[in-house]
Structure 1
Amino acid sequence: MGTPKQATVTMGTSRMFRALLVLGAVFMIFLIIVYWDDVGAANLNFLPPVSPGPRHRPPSPAKQKAQTSRPPSFLSDIDAFVNQFLEPGTGEPTDPSPVDPGNQSEKAEERYIPRQEWKVHQTPLAPELVERQEKRLQVFREVCANESIWFPHKNRSFDDIPIDELRHLIVDDRHGVIYCFVPKVACTNWKRIMIVLSESLLQDGVPQRDPMAIPHNLTHNPDLHFTFTKFWKRYGKFARHLMKVKLRKYTKFLFVRDPFVRIISAFRNKFEESNNEFYTLFGKLLLNLYGNQPTPPENVYESIKMGIRPTFYQFIQYLIDHQTEKEKPFDDHWRQVYRMCHPCQIQYDFVGHLETLDEDAEHLLRLLRVDNVVEFPSVGNRNVSESSWVSDWFKGIPAEDLRKLYKLFEPDFRLFGYPRPDSILND
């Protein structure tokens, strides 16, 4: 039988142990409450740890049916939360390669291979590339800080941006990357890169590693991209705060191009080609409002057959018409970049230009330390943007209308360092 002193010590130890149990239980209940909205009782499944990267084998034609990864689990959200406090852009997985003693077949061994560490940073980046990137960042930051330069929503805070206007921001928690995609600026291939990095697309149970093997329709499938607009469903009232945490810690990038060249590219892709969707949504409207066609052809195929097609000047008239956005906001393919990516509210770390895509893509992948994981697809010849080529497109358009068009896209010209096209504006 112990002494009273011993009994007191034993009782104190027991109380401390019970207190720790209670605190632990409270903490677990808190975590479940925070994540319950996204997970649900049926989704508390435990996934194997993240792999360093499987070897990609091109799928056979019979196996082209792609599979999307399972919904985020409770543990994947915890991993994402922990990853926020790692150095962004390291490219290191949160867990080591999985060990599965029960699956030692040759096929299983081929699924996981070490990253190609020899490929990372073989040579230093050229000083001119680093300097060019610094100048680009300096330009848009100076424009945002210059009180004499004004454009819509320039001075609003990040908290004031409506959630729908954040739909262009794609997040990769594995590597600490946020990409603002801009249509008509190589966004299809950059989306492919983001799918590969996030491992959101499975092929035969293995994450897809070849960007060009991802079909075009899947590339733009919103289910394969974790965007800021999805934060509300997953995190509820904590969404905006977590967005700002990730913006502060992750590497943020976007790619842009000459605004007038982007307008030309959008017109060629959506109105010169047999795109019935855009003809139905916009082409008939252009012909009706600006082409003296009270009953335009019903579809793009009839339009081609009858030789009644929207013209580039009709498209310009549509863009500069004050009534246009009173009816419906600009489509993303010609919406201004500053309205999609919010450069005055988000401090981007890298601004690429389509005119220097190859160099910028290599620079960025090295900056993110993922150049041993994925390579940017080679896209061959791209639309040139020489002044003579642009002049040919805008030839015959009244100078007054061109100045209105420039005013509409002037923020993009100034933010991203593109010179004012005086050769066509002063004619």
Structure 2
Amino acid sequence: MMGTSQMFHIFVVLGSAFMILLIIIYWEEVGASHQYLHTPFSPRPKIPNPVQQQQQQQPQTPRTPAFLSDIDAFVNQFLEPGTGEPTDQVPAETSNQSEKAEERYVPRQEWKIHLTPVAAELRQRQENRQRLLKDLCANDSFAFPGKKRSFDEIPIQELDHLIVDDRHGIIYCYVPKVACTNWKRIMMVLSESLLIDGVPQRDPLAIHRDLAHNSTMHFTFNKFWKRYGKFARHLMKVKLKKYTKFLFVRDPFVRLISAFRDKFEGRNEEFYRRFAKIMLRRYGNQPTPPDSVDKAFATGLHPSFPHFIQYLLDPRTEKESPFNEHWQQVYRLCHPCQIQYDFVGHLETAVEDAEHLLRLLRVDNVVEFPASNRNLTASDSESDWFNLVPLEVRRELYKLYEPDFRLFGYSRPDSVLNE
């Protein structure tokens, strides 16, 4: 008869083999490269820049990390950013990669240690903004829709503005009309999600704005369910706890003016069909507005800024569908009472804030925030835009956006709300 000790060893060996088999199956099903919290994963397939679509480029396929690379990545998940050396490897040679691309590849240098201290004024600015958010979110006398719900109660489709970069442990909540094009470009550079001839794009301004806004180029929270299934919400909370989270905001009324200028003063066919025709029909005495934006502009028809404000305050608007992201309130896009942001930038101080943030993320030696003056709207022109809007309508509009004013430290616009 076989001794007890021999039986025990046999069971141990069989059990170990069974566990290894389960791990391999799980690894293949879930995708190990996406389970790590602070580790690189293989870049996505190359997506051509719209500006260069006329050029024929050799197709690329995603690189699959080697088993040993996955082990390195697994170990690195226990390191906080900046506490160890990166394990990024020069991409392995593949049959469809050109020698030219291999020669041009430069390993990332994000882990440089910055010795120059950040100005005390900038640190204090962030402390004040974060404290304001924390205090108002805890203040029961300050209420707005959705404030009291937990993170688990936020519908998955309302988390589509949270972009995740697993390479550097960053989560960015983008707010349209607040320099989000350039911040999306930066996120693409950092995550290396865009390859040109097999080489990650390093220049944010070289990324076409249409490509920057292509949702397939960004890994957002609302995509977690499809990838992780029942583990999605848990992984979101793990990343929210460990990653650096940031957003940029802007004076709410100035943001509305910027949205109107961008979407309705120019020939934007999509926004004309989806929104401008409704405004013209309901508030512009145009029962049958032209079918296209070109026909409308040819006859001098386009919605006015007062029409736009009426549309925002019309109860039918939200009943038909949620606000478009370009004028949806920031508290609905980014959930500042459910997510504790580590950095709150303001467009009004964008240059200083961007430099501070990139230092905080330890990537300022990798990428710079691109300066942009596209469709700038100054806050001192606010009163001029609201001149034709009745006073009671302006005050109703303020109530609609008051949470954004208060949460992010913007003063009540008395020049607009008082005669």
Instruction: Map 1:91-110 onto structure 2 (within 5 A).
Output: 93-97=86-90, 108-110=102-104
1:333 and 1:66 mapped to 2: Cα distance?
36
Deviation of the 1:117 alpha carbon: 6.8
Residue 323 of structure 2 corresponds to which residue in structure 1? 330
1:320-353 deviations in Å (ceiling 9; x for gaps):
1122101111000000000010000000000000
Equivalent position SS for 1:323:
helix
Q: 2: CA distance between counterparts of 1:64 and 1:216?
A: 21
Corresponding residue number in structure 2 for 1:115: 109
Moved more, 155-164 or 122-131: 122-131
- Superposed counterparts of 1:111-190, under 5 Å: 111-113=105-107, 115=109, 121=114, 123-190=116-183
Give yes or no for contact 1:261–1:390 (8 Å, CA) kept in 2: yes
- What is the identity, as a one-letter code, of the residue corresponding to 2:394? L
What is the alpha-carbon root mean square deviation over aligned residues?
Answer: 3.4
Tell me whether 1:413 sits opposite 2:405 in the alignment: yes
Unaligned runs of 5+ in 1: 40-48, 52-57
Judging changes above 3 Å, is the alpha-carbon distance between structure 1 residues 177 and 296 closer, same or farther for their aligned structure 2 residues? same
Query: Given that residues 84 and 246 in structure 1 are in contact (C-alpha distance below 8 angstroms), is that contact kept between their aligned partners in structure 2?
Result: no
Unaligned runs of 5+ in 2: 33-39, 43-48
Give distance in 1, aligned partners of 2:11 and 2:205. 57
* 2:235 match: 242
Q: Is the 8 A contact 1:35 1:74 kept in 2?
A: no
2:385 is aligned with 1:385: no
Counterpart pick for 1:215 among 208, 212, 236: 208
Letter in structure 2 aligned against 1:285: I
Q: CA deviation at 1:70?
A: 2.9
2:363 is matched by which residue type in structure 1? V
Displacement of 1:33: 3.6
Q: Does 1:304 align with 2:297?
A: yes
**How many correspondences in the alignment?**
404
CA distance in structure 1 between the aligned counterparts of 2:350 and 2:57, rounded to whole angstroms = 31
Question: How far apart, in 2, do the equivalents of 1:316 and 1:97 lie?
Answer: 53
Deviates more, 1:308-317 or 1:30-39: 30-39
Give the conservation status (yes or no) of the 8 Å contact 1:167–1:229: yes
Equivalent of residue 26 in structure 1, options 3, 14, 19? 19
Cα deviation digits, residues 75-125 of structure 1 (max 9, x gap): 79988776553214669533444687999967634312462777x536221
Q: Quote the Cα distance in structure 2 between the aligned partners of 1:286 and 1:94.
A: 55
Contact kept? 1:67, 1:202, Cα under 8 Å: no
User: Could you tell me how far 1:207 is from its partner in structure 2?
Assistant: 1.1
Deviations along 1:214-235, one digit per CA (max 9) or x if unpaired, are 1112111111111111111111
Shift of 1:402: 0.3
Matched, 1:376 2:373: no
1:205 aligns with 2:170: no
Say whether residues 1:279 and 2:272 are aligned partners.
Answer: yes
CA distance in structure 1 between the aligned counterparts of 2:329 and 2:70, rounded to whole angstroms: 33
TM-score w.r.t. structure 2 length? 0.86
Deviations 1:262-298 (A, max 9, x none): 0000000000011011000000000000111101111
Query: Any conservation in 2 of the 1:89–1:367 contact (CA below 8 Å)?
Result: no
Q: Does 1:256 align with 2:259?
A: no
Residue 354 of structure 2 corresponds to residue 361 of structure 1: yes
Larger radius of gyration: 1
Q: Which residue is 1:423 aligned to?
A: 415
* 1:185–1:262 contact (8 Å) kept in structure 2: yes
Aligned-residue identity in percent: 60
Following TM superposition, the consecutive aligned residue runs of length 4 or more in structure 1 with deviations greater than 4 angstroms are: 58-69, 71-84, 89-92, 96-107
**Does the Cα contact within 8 Å between 1:288 and 1:296 map onto a contact in 2?**
yes
* 2:41–2:65 Cα contact (<8 Å) kept: no
Are 2:392 and 1:400 aligned?
yes
Change (3 A) 1:150 1:77: farther
Q: Indicate how the Cα distance of structure 1 residues 214 and 28 shifts in structure 2: closer, same or farther if over 3 A, else same.
A: farther
Using the alignment, how far apart are the partners of 2:131 and 2:56 within structure 1?
A: 45
Q: Output the CA distance in 1 between the equivalents of 2:373 and 2:150.
A: 40
Deviates more, 1:152-161 or 1:209-218: 209-218
* Amino acid in the other structure paired with 1:281: R
Letter in 1 for 2:409: G
CA drift of 1:35 comes to 5.7
Residue 375 of structure 1: how far off its partner (Å): 1.2
Task: Output one character per residue of 1:33-66: Cα deviation in whole Å (capped at 9) or x when no partner.
Answer: 4762669xxxxxxxxx879xxxxxx999975869
Counterpart for residue 309 of structure 2: 316
Q: Which amino acid aligns with 2:122?
A: L
CA contact (8 A) 1:88 1:177 kept: no
Distance 2:21 2:295 in 1: 63
CA spacing shift, 1:343–1:107, aligned 2, 3 Å: closer
Contact map agreement 1:89 1:368 (CA 8 A) in 2: no
Mark the CA change 1:358 to 1:316 in structure 2 (over 3 Å): closer, same or farther: same
Q: 1:159 to 1:66 in 2, by over 3 A?
A: farther
Q: 3-state SS of the aligned residue for 2:311?
A: helix
Over 3 Å counting, the alpha-carbon distance change for 1:131 and 1:64 in structure 2 is farther
3-state SS in 1 of match to 2:315:
coil
